[in-house]
Copies of this chain bind each other. A is one copy, B any other.
Amino acid sequence: MKFQIQRDSLVQSVQDVMKAVTSRTTIPILTGIKIVASEEGVTLTGSDSDISIESFIPKESDGNEIVEISRTGSIVLQAKFFSEIVKKLPTDKVEIDVQNHLQTVIRSGKSEFNLNGLDAEEYPHLPQLSEEKIFRIPTDLLKAMVRQTVFAVSTSETRPILTGVNWKVEDAELTCIATDSHRLALRKAKVETEANESYNVVIPGKSLSELSKILDDNNDLIDIVITENQVLFKAENLLFFSRLLEGNYPDTTRLIPNESKTEIGMQTKEFLQAIDRASLLAREGRNNVVKFSTIEDGVVEISSNTPEIGKVVEEVQSQFIEGEDLKISFSAKYMMDALKALEGTEIKVSFTGAMRPFVIRPMNDESILQLILPVRTY
């Protein structure tokens, strides 16, 4: 294998596939990046066996030559060193040349690296997915849906299925749900499908976070292929594979209350900042819990008391309070996570009593909701 390549394209591709590479793997060859040079261009692959990322660098892009192939072939190079090296090479042009015994020479300007490579034949094969059934979603919408749900997955392995996000497609609508059993995040959006297929799968939260990081912010369509145990996201010149979690995701529809006894409208930012301050002293104490109560004239009081340190009282002027007066306690962290995930400057919180889960939604938007279980303190 021998080719010349534009450094910046190589650096970008290496950074993308590095997202899947971990040094903590039981399969030594997965600490490497697989490089394949074909007549069409260069393909890089990184994998930790849960996530696999394939980045393709075409010979030409927008009429500019990116790669010049002298000899096709393949090699696996240690990801940690290869990624550092390409970032620091002195000139725009880089030559990669595999010689005898997998010795790989990387040349750029007056700099010459000689790396011990590994045989690409030993690198695990990526899953081959039949791509008959796909659905499509714009990249920026996909990133928003991930951001608005993935934070709510469980970080505990006691119920592994909750470490993933439940993706359901039905009637050309995608619903993403995440819960750690103390709070829940839900986001819906229309998707493009050809066949009107239904799916119900659980994607590891970590996979979605990594996917989000390597996708650019644009509205290009991403193709999504779901099989029994894999999901594949296809962007231009990028394939992102993730395994799916096995098992049944709990039915969360019954958790979400249909009615409410108290409805409160607030400015998102003002409410978020008041919660943040009210929890400053509580972070040390038990569970970071704040108290929330309606007082007179449409004012909401948020407070916390940590006797060793002190107490805080915040007042927020609501836009409206409808229904019963309320005193409730909840985790400030969960509330801040939920508020940060919501789009829009105004939110509506719907309570059904101090002991029941409550729901936060943007004003006039039914496509997203955040649900939080209160804490018993009153």
Is A27 an interface residue when CB atoms closer than 8 A count as contact? Answer: no
Chain A residues bordering chain B, tally (CB within 8 A): 31
Residues on B with C-beta less than 8 A from A276 are 88
Q: Which stretch in A137-145, A189-197, A310-318, A352-360 binds the other chain?
A: A310-318
Contact A112 B308 (CB under 8 A): no
Q: Which of A267-285 contact B (CB under 8 A)?
A: 273-274, 276-277, 280-281
CA distance A90 to B315 in the complex (A): 11
Q: Which stretch in A113-121, A154-162, A365-373 binds the other chain?
A: A113-121
Residues on B with C-beta less than 8 A from A313 are 111-112, 114
Known contacts A89-B277, A277-B111, A116 near B309 by CB under 8 Å:
yes
Contact B280 A310 (CB under 8 A): no
Is A43 an interface residue when CB atoms closer than 8 A count as contact? Answer: no
Residues on B with C-beta less than 8 A from A310 are 81, 104, 113-116
Is A260 an interface residue when CB atoms closer than 8 A count as contact? Answer: no
Copies of this chain, how many?
Answer: 2
CA distance A275 to B85 in the complex (A): 12
Q: Which of A70-123 contact B (CB under 8 A)?
A: 78, 81, 84-85, 88-90, 104, 110-116
Residues on B with C-beta less than 8 A from A312 are 111-114
Q: Quick one: which of B78, B104, B112, B280 contacts A81, CB cutoff 8 A?
A: B280
Chain B residue with minimal CB distance to A301?
B110
CA distance A268 to B195 in the complex (A): 62
CA distance A114 to B110 in the complex (A): 65
Residues on B with C-beta less than 8 A from A112 are 312-314
Contact B316 A281 (CB under 8 A): no
Residues on B with C-beta less than 8 A from A78 are 309
CA distance A276 to B90 in the complex (A): 11
Contact B111 A274 (CB under 8 A): yes
Chain B residue with minimal CB distance to A305?
B114
Residues on B with C-beta less than 8 A from A110 are 274, 314-317
Chain B residue with minimal CB distance to A313?
B112
CA distance A280 to B88 in the complex (A): 9
Q: Which of A302-352 contact B (CB under 8 A)?
A: 308-317
Contact A114 B277 (CB under 8 A): no
CA distance A113 to B116 in the complex (A): 62
CA distance A86 to B218 in the complex (A): 38
Residues on B with C-beta less than 8 A from A113 are 277, 280-281, 310-312
CA distance A200 to B111 in the complex (A): 46
Chain B residue with minimal CB distance to A276?
B88
A29 vs chain B, min Cβ distance (A): 15
Most buried by B among A273, A280, A311: A280
6 contacts between A and B (CB under 8 A): A88-B280, A90-B277, A112-B313, A113-B280, A114-B313, A116-B310
Apart from A81-B281, A112-B313, A114-B313: 7 A-B pairs, beta carbons within 8 A = A78-B309, A81-B310, A85-B277, A110-B315, A111-B274, A114-B310, A115-B310
